[in-house]
Structure 1
Amino acid sequence: METDYESVLLVVRECFVYRIPPRTAARGYRAAEWDDLGSSFLWKGRLRVISKGKSCSIRLEDGETGELFAVCPYEIQGNSVEGVLDSSRYFVLKIEHEGRHAFIGMGFQERSDAFDFNVALQDFAKQLRAEEAAENRAVHGSDAPKQDYSLKEGQTINITIGNVGGKRSRPRPAANASNSNTGFVPLIPPPPSAQQVKQQQQQQRQHPF
């Protein structure tokens, strides 16, 4: 049986939680509308982003004891994590507990912490999409119908091969080609016929000198 292990994607030692007013418009949240943003906060502690299999959660814990304050299950498609409109350091988290949920404000003092928080969530989303795409390819590859290339009854295959059975002409050697230059062996003249030999002998008798 395959077991999924927890993987810590990010740890931020200090983050802040705020009460936020109910959302009144679809335009989004603004941190400037939160009560006493600069001087008051509801809770302060550690933030951890943890993945397990195909799930990811944002855990707000006490920095010293590890006691859990709130959990935000992260959903790629949904409103579990929203950035505010007027700052890159503040977010709205949808926390859940025993089937109930609520929205809280969460922020960082350093912009680098907010940047790392965004990157951790984006990396998890990319990895999850890549795994789902690989699973889809594996399923579609196994279920795809196999092509039948066998011949059906009455079917034939015609194959045409060029220059089969045709006459082939040999290249003729040049008249002035030499043995050393072209590599052709000169043809030996045929022997004289019997009639030619008899004529030569008669000529020799008539003209001995």
Structure 2
Amino acid sequence: MEDYEAILLVKQEVFVFKIPPRTSNRGYRAADWNLSAPDWTGRMRLLAKGTECILKLEDKVSGELFAKCPVDTYPGIAIEAVSDSSRYFVVRIQDDSGRAAFIGVGFADRSDSFDLNVALQDHFKWVKQSQEIEKEGTTEEAAKPRLDLSFKAGETIKINMKIGKKDGDSVSKPKAKTLGGLPPPPGGMRLAPPGGAKFTDGADGGFKQQSEPQQQQEWGDFTSAGPSTNAASPKAPVSSNWVQF
């Protein structure tokens, strides 16, 4: 993922000075500059993109870039404090072709220079910690034994899959209740009465026997099971074709 640009510090007023070349190994001195007449005045922005840090000097109104200073470390040669004041620095600016020059930068308020010091120190402290964490992670990963998850010869794996009904599956219809353990006759089929008698549906929902010329008694008048009045010629018992419902 590409790193985004973060703003570490913004100061709305900063002074820029042309400085004479350093003639000895001793540090720069702000007293050697013409502090009463800055050569340029504008704003300063300190930006970070990943581990990179850059200080930009821009116009207050238009935001046009005046100069930029890539900072690779701090304290370092890119931004160096002067020896006689805490409000002024020597900054190494660079153009796109890589040419470099040194200018003096200062603030009217001492707290502004303090904020610049803190912002630079915090950024490079974070860079150092990130590098150490990355280095430790690489070392631990290299030292960690690799876990072998491959199947050995003869090894198998057992998977217990429980597949439930999906939405929309048809639900089984409840079974019809039966009487006496037997299912009802299909289509409401009725049994024929004994003796070939015919019946029709009555008004009260029951059965009514139809009159037949050869049948004088209604179905249901059965011969008594007791002894016959005619003892001389006993009749055979009448078989009742009654069906148990």
Whether TM-score is above 0.5 comes out as yes
1:42 Cα deviation from its structure 2 partner: 1.1
Show the counterpart of 1:44. 41
Instruction: Give the TM-score normalised by the residue count of structure 2.
Output: 0.57
Show the counterpart of 1:57. 54
Structure 1: which 5+ runs fail to align? 148-209
1:88 Cα deviation from its structure 2 partner: 0.2
Bigger drift between 73-82 and 61-70 goes to 73-82
1:146 Cα deviation from its structure 2 partner: 4.0
Matches within 5 A, 1:60-209: 60-76=57-73, 78-97=76-95, 98-144=97-143, 146=145
Q: Secondary structure at the match of 1:63?
A: coil
Matches within 5 A, 1:16-27: 16-27=15-26
Q: Secondary structure at the match of 2:129?
A: helix
2:111 and 2:79 map into 1 onto residues whose CA distance is 18
- Tell which has more relative contact order, 1 or 2 (C-alpha 8 A, sep 6+): 1
* Matching residue's letter, 1:53: G
Tell me the alpha carbon deviations over residues 37-96 of structure 1, each in whole angstroms, 9 at most, x when there is no partner: 1x2111100000000011000000001100000000012163000000000000000000
Q: Which has the higher helix share?
A: 1
Instruction: Give the TM-score normalised by the residue count of structure 1.
Output: 0.67
Identity percentage over the alignment? 51
- The list of structure 1 runs, each at least 4 consecutive aligned residues, that deviate by more than 3 angstroms after superposition, is none
1:63 and 1:114 map into 2 onto residues whose CA distance is 18
Structure 2: which 5+ runs fail to align? 147-245
2:25 and 2:4 map into 1 onto residues whose CA distance is 38
2:83 and 2:110 map into 1 onto residues whose CA distance is 15
1:111 Cα deviation from its structure 2 partner: 0.3
